[in-house]
Structure formats: C-alpha cells, structure tokens
Amino acid sequence: MYAIAIMAKAPFPNNVKTRLIPPLAPFEASRLYHSFLLDKIEQVKCIEEARPFIAYTPESSESFFRSIIPPGFFLINQAGKDLGERLTNVSHELFDQGAARVILLDSDTPNLPVDHIREGFSRLNEVDVVLGPCEDGGYYLIGMRAFIPEIFSGIPWSTALVTELTLKKVQELGLTVSKLPGWCDVDTEKDLRRLMRDLEFPSNNCFFCKNTYRWSLSHADLMTQIKINNFLFSIKVLFFVLKNQNK
C-alpha cells in the first residue's frame, strides 16, 4: 500500500493563515484556507495509486473534517505538541497500517502540480527520502519508504532552515534523498499576490485550484485594493530612496 496524507488544520478564524491578517480579516483568511484545503483534496484524488488520508488538528475538529472528506478518504488525528511530533506520529501511524511508501503533504499549495506528487512516489523507488522544497525554506512534501522519526526531531519549524536541516539529518543517517522541483506556498501577502497572479495567468503544469479561484473572484475588490496599497507603498519607498540619494 502507498499512503498519502494531507497535514490539515481546521479552518477556524484566527487559527489559520494568521500572517495574512491583515490584509485579510480573520473570517476571510479562514475561508481562503478552507479553499486551499478543498483544492488539496482534489489534488490527492488524482493520485489513484495511493490510499488518501487527511491528518487533522485539533482533535475536536473531527466532525468538520468528516463533513468534507470524499468517499475513500480516511482521517487521522495529528497527535503531538509541535509539528515535528505530529509528522512523526502521522507517519508512524501510516507505516503501522502497512504502508510501503508514505508521502505527507502540506495544505498551503493549492496549485501544486499533481505530477510533483506522482514524481515523489516514483523517486521513492530509488531513494529513502524525497523532499519537495518551498521557496521560503520549508517543504510542501516529504516522502519516505520507512519510518524515520529522526528527520522530524530538532527542526526549527516555520523558519528558512527547515529543508536545509532536514536534508542534513537524512545525510547524517546515511540515507539517500532526492529533491523535487521547488514550489511556492502561501503564507504572506506577497505569496497571496503571486498566487492570484498565477490564477490569472496559469502555467501549463499548475493544478487548476477551482475553489481558490472562486475565492479570488469573490474577493476581487479586496485583492485590487491590496495591489493599490502595495503600489503606493513602493512609490513611497522609491521617493524616500531618491530623496536620501540627493542629500
């Protein structure tokens, strides 16, 4: 059995996408993440060779996740004090259920190409660990062909060092590793602007994230205002630089 699990949070206001508050209001940010989550489920549905799971947190949100999972998906509670413990426990649970290959996915990359996930499983035929790096230093995917708790221990989560230190741990353990093409997750206002631009002008390999696209259409005025505010801020910075150069 191959297993794939989405690491998901319940999309409650002030619980998700907090770095986008502002410019988004808490409810808008939670609806955006809800859209990300639905699109990630659609991505995983395309991976027919793997048994799909949603690893959810907090434990009290089980009923919500039962209301959104499609037929054939399974739920696992994310147990643990931090992300490292939760990744460890989820991967252990999947291998304990008999998985020969395990991939854990983030839920912040709604337009991630499905081929990146397929390639992750393919490379696990050759290496022990596969990583899908994000541009901010984290990763959108980690895959293993055995339970390796050490790679989740002592990592400074939510920093630019996550992928670098994970690769170092894998190598220190004498294991083989392969990096997938990089992708951009959505944590900040800059990331969101980039995603909105990619939705308007998608590349050939982007996953069409229909739920996130609908969110963007329903918040078109807000996104326009964000673009205007950033343009005005850029003008102010340029004026400040030019003023100081002339002193």
Give the chain's count of helices (H) and strands (E): 8, 7
Give residue 217's pLDDT.
86
| Domains of the chain by residue range | 2-245
Quickly state the pLDDT bin for 165 (edges 50, 70, 90). very high
Which tens digit of pLDDT belongs to each residue from 30-52?
999 999 999 999 999 999 999 99
Put residue 181 in one of left, alpha, beta given phi > 0 → left and psi -120 to 50 → alpha. beta
Give residue 218's pLDDT.
82
C-alpha span between 142 and 166 (Å, rounded): 10
Worst-scoring range by mean pLDDT, 40-54, 151-165, 178-192, 225-239? 225-239
Of all helices (H) and strands (E), which one includes residue 2? strand 2-9
| pTM for the predicted model, two decimal places | 0.89
CA angle 78, 80, 84 (to 5 degrees): 95
Whether residue 10 is predicted with pLDDT greater than 90 in this model: the reply is yes
Give residue 203's pLDDT.
77
**CATH dotted code for 2-245:** 3.90.550.10
